[in-house]
């Protein structure tokens, strides 16, 4: 295939886009298409034209129209018929976007335009998305296609918050998809993708920080719509793996931002409801906690943030296209890469969402619940989990039912396993335990009862079916493993979320600025023993604002064997000798002493060091006190209580 049409498409689109974008700089103020500063999520200081999307759209229509006329698409499946569908559908989005940029549009009206555009496109140019067999009703393709387009439109619309970011991410996707289309023999699709890529590059000339022009809602919606419609054409229907990886390849970063936005706003809505507050946070309500805003708070450079996110987009595209280009055997490489990126990204970028979820869990366990209803729900879940565990074990043992002998016997074994396991759970009183306060003993006991149930089911079964004895043992052991994880998962999930929420809340690095008077600030815990671990447990069980502004950075301990290790994911930095350097590097403002009966000389040293380093010294401890004499007399006996006091300032400033 010739590369000449591709080269012509890029160069022609680039030149035309430069001219039209320059023209929009003059026309936008006259048309009233100006982005005024002032909203909470705005970061620019002066009014900026937002007609870049209109310039990109007109550029693409001119180049694509000339491409059809000159025969660039000869031999492909796309033609002027496709262009008609695209013009009609994209015209709806451009019109809605221009109205929104000029006067503002209701969120539901914008969503209506998002749905109407792909509907018109599908009616004029039906799309085979490659998910369902060809014999299935076309309505299924339509529903999935419209949903896919709406998600991508909103993804690019939400990510458009920094100079050069949305356009840069779109350019990465356009050129990588164009290359894939050319490799797959789809020159017609490649020309269209690269023509749009050239148009975006021309716009980026004036959109790099400091931007002279913005995309506007019309532009961001156009790019999301274009990528959604042409992406399936570029990948082709020949590989299911391509359909699976397509969303990550086309819009990995914007889709991640959408996921976090929905999670964040849903969590805040739930918190407000639990607290009984009025007012709602809609899923379409703007905020200033998108990915680019968080990175901007850390780096203070729009160009740097845009380059970081565009680099991540390149990685997403690279790992997503590996199995498409070199075969499904590389699927495992892509999955491992995405898992690692996800783990690092969640720890770095999803701290707000994790913290909000931990807050919900904390409040939920404090509220009264309908015990009978929850008990019934968990009983139904246990029956389902146990049954699913047996089915999974039997499927593995019979090689997905290829060896179909004795299926009736396996069904009887499954019923015995489920019934005996439910009896064991009942004897353990599993539905009466408060699992959010579960200990290791509770989990071990649960596994032991399930193990006893599995062995009992095996014993009974092996007596009745002696010829299947070893088969039954394997099925029993696999059922035990699967059931153990499934039964424990919902019971420990709440505490795990609270633990992750505690970790996220105290690892946010941007807490040194904007602290209110009376806030604790960044603190270290002196003592990594039982009392230090108890302090972290106390924080996990305390309210979200119980200690306002407190962020635990780690531990200090004189035991050298603990240095460099972690307690509840918090690092032990060293002994007291490391404190001055930590104050300088970490901005520490306080020290929480979690040591029982400290020696007087140690207290003198601590107070002197806190005075010198301008630190507050807090003391945390557990006391066992006898109640006041009057209270004891009213009870008719001595009353003993355990108290975990609030943190008290002990010496220091």
DSSP codes joined into one string, 171-183 = HHHHHHHHHHHHH
pLDDT at 54: 93
Nearest by Cα to 317 from 156, 472, 175, 499: 175
Of the chain, the percentage scoring pLDDT greater than 90 comes to 14
Q: What angle do CA 58, 59, 60 make, to 5 degrees?
A: 90
pLDDT at 513: 45
Whether the bond into 510 is cis, omega within 30 of 0:
no
Per-residue pLDDT tens over the stretch 485-504: 888 888 887 777 777 767 76
* Residue 548's pLDDT band (cuts 50, 70, 90): confident
Residue 535 or 626, more confident: 535
Q: What mean pLDDT is predicted for residues 118-133?
A: 80
Which residues on adjacent β-strands are paired with residue 218? none
Burial of 421 from C-beta contacts in 10 A (0-12 / 13-18 / 19+): buried
Residue 34 or 280, more confident: 34
Residue identified by tokens 């006391």 is: 623
**What length is written for the chain?**
653
b vs e for 44-61, b when ≥16 Cβ sit within 10 Å of the residue's Cβ? beeebbbbbbbbbbbbbb
Return d(Cα 308, Cα 290) in angstroms, integer: 14
pLDDT at 249: 67
Which residues on adjacent β-strands are paired with residue 649? 618
Dihedrals φ, ψ of 452, to 5°?
Answer: -60, -40
* Residue 226's pLDDT band (cuts 50, 70, 90): very high
Residue 127 or 630, more confident: 127
Q: Is pLDDT above 90 for 384?
A: yes
For the chain, list the domains and their CATH numbers: 4-349 (no CATH), 371-505 (no CATH), 521-652 (3.40.50.720)
Per-residue pLDDT tens over the stretch 394-421: 888 877 666 555 677 778 888 888 999 9
The pTM of the full predicted model, rounded to 2 decimals, is: 0.63
pLDDT at 511: 47
Classify the phi-psi angles of 137: left when phi > 0, otherwise alpha if psi is within -120 to 50, otherwise beta.
beta
* Residue 207's pLDDT band (cuts 50, 70, 90): confident
Which residues on adjacent β-strands are paired with residue 567? 570
Q: Is 175 within 8 Å of 192 (Cβ atoms)?
A: no
Q: Is pLDDT above 70 for 305?
A: yes
Out of 108-117, 183-192, 360-369, 486-495, least confident range: 360-369
pLDDT at 639: 39
Q: Is 594 within 8 Å of 539 (Cβ atoms)?
A: no
Q: Return the structure tokens found at 391.
A: 């089915």
Residue identified by tokens 């870049």 is: 52
Residue 5 or 359, more confident: 5
Which residues on adjacent β-strands are paired with residue 617? 591
Q: Is pLDDT above 80 for 9?
A: yes
* Residue 141's pLDDT band (cuts 50, 70, 90): confident
pLDDT at 55: 93
140 contacts: CB under 8 Å, gap ≥ 6: 131, 132
Residue identified by tokens 């970790």 is: 503
Q: What mean pLDDT is predicted for residues 270-286?
A: 62
Q: Is pLDDT above 70 for 534?
A: yes
- Could you say which DSSP state residue 521 is in? E
Q: Return the structure tokens found at 370.
A: 């309908």
Element (H, E) at 334: helix 331-349
Q: Is pLDDT above 80 for 596?
A: yes
Residue 571 or 282, more confident: 571
Whether the bond into 137 is cis, omega within 30 of 0:
no
* Residue 645's pLDDT band (cuts 50, 70, 90): very low
Name the average pLDDT for the chain: 78
Determine how many CB atoms are found less than 10 A away from the CB of residue 549: 17
Q: What mean pLDDT is predicted for residues 16-20?
A: 94
Q: Is pLDDT above 60 for 151?
A: yes
Q: Is 618 within 8 Å of 590 (Cβ atoms)?
A: yes
* Residue 283's pLDDT band (cuts 50, 70, 90): low
Q: Is pLDDT above 90 for 33?
A: no
Determine how many CB atoms are found less than 10 A away from the CB of residue 614: 10
pLDDT at 637: 45
Q: What mean pLDDT is predicted for residues 159-170?
A: 83
Return d(Cα 632, Cα 640) in angstroms, integer: 9
pLDDT at 67: 67
């Amino acid at each position: 295939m010739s590369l000449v049409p591709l080269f012509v498409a890029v160069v022609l689109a680039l030149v035309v886009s430069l001219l039209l974008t320059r023209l929009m700089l003059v026309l936008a103020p006259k048309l009233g298409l100006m982005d005024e500063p002032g909203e909470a999520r705005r970061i620019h200081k002066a009014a900026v034209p937002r007609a870049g999307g209109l310039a990109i759209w007109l550029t693409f229509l001119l180049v694509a129209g000339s491409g059809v006329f000159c025969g660039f698409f000869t031999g492909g499946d796309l033609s002027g018929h496709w262009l008609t569908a695209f013009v009609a559908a994209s015209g709806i989005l451009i019109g809605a976007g221009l109205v929104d940029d000029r006067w503002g549009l209701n969120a539901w009206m914008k969503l209506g335009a998002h749905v109407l555009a792909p509907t018109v496109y599908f009616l004029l140019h039906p799309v085979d998305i490659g998910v369902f067999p060809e014999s299935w009703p076309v309505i299924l393709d339509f529903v999935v296609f419209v949903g896919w387009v709406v998600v991508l439109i909103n993804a690019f619309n939400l990510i458009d918050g920094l100079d050069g970011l949305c356009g840069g991410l779109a350019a990465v996707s356009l050129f990588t998809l164009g290359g894939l289309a050319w490799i797959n023999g789809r020159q017609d699709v490649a020309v269209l993708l690269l023509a749009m890529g050239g148009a975006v590059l021309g716009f980026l000339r004036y959109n790099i920080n400091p931007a002279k022009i913005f995309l506007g809602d019309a532009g961001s919606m156009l790019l999301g719509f274009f990528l959604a419609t042409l992406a399936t054409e570029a990948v082709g229907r020949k590989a299911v793996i391509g359909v699976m990886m397509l969303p990550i390849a086309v819009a990995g970063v914007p889709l991640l931002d959408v996921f976090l936005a929905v999670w964040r706003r849903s969590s805040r809505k739930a918190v407000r409801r639990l607290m009984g507050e009025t007012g709602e946070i809609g899923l379409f309500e703007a905020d200033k906690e998108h990915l680019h805003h968080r990175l901007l708070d850390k780096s203070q450079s729009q160009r740097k943030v845009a380059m970081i996110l565009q680099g991540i987009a390149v990685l997403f595209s690279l790992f997503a296209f590996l199995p498409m280009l070199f075969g499904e055997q590389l699927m495992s490489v892509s999955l491992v890469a995405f898992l690692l990126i996800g783990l690092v990204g969640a720890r770095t970028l999803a701290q707000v969402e994790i913290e909000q979820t931990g807050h919900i869990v904390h409040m939920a366990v404090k509220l009264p619940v309908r015990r009978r209803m929850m008990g019934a729900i968990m009983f139904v879940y246990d029956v389902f989990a146990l049954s699913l565990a047996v089915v999974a074990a039997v499927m593995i043992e019979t090689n997905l039912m290829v060896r179909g002998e004795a299926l009736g016997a396996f069904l009887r074994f499954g019923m015995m396993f489920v019934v005996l396991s439910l009896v064991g759970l009942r004897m353990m009183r599993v539905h009466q335990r408060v699992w959010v306060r579960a200990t290791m003993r509770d989990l071990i006991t649960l596994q032991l009862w399930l193990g006893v149930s599995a062995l009992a089911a095996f014993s009974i079964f092996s007596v009745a079916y002696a010829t299947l004895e070893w088969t039954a043992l394997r099925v029993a052991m696999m059922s035990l493993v699967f059931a153990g994880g499934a039964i424990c998962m919902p019971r420990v999930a709440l505490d795990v979320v609270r633990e992750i929420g505690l970790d996220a809340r105290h690892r946010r690095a941007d807490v040194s600025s904007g602290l209110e008077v009376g806030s604790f600030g960044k603190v270290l815990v002196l003592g990594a023993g039982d009392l230090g671990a108890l302090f972290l447990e106390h924080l996990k069980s305390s309210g979200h604002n119980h200690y306002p502004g407190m962020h635990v950075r780690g531990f200090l301990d004189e035991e050298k064997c603990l240095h460099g290790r972690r307690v509840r994911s918090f690092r032990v930095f060293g002994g007291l000798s490391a404190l001055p350097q930590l104050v300088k590097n970490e901005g520490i403002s306080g020290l929480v002493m979690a040591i029982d009966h400290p020696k007087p000389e140690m207290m003198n040293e601590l107070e002197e060091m806190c005075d010198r380093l301008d630190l507050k010294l807090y003391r945390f401890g557990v006391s066992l006190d006898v109640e006041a004499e009057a209270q004891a007399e009213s009870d008719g006996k001595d009353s003993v209580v355990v108290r975990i006091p609030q943190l008290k300032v002990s010496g220091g400033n």
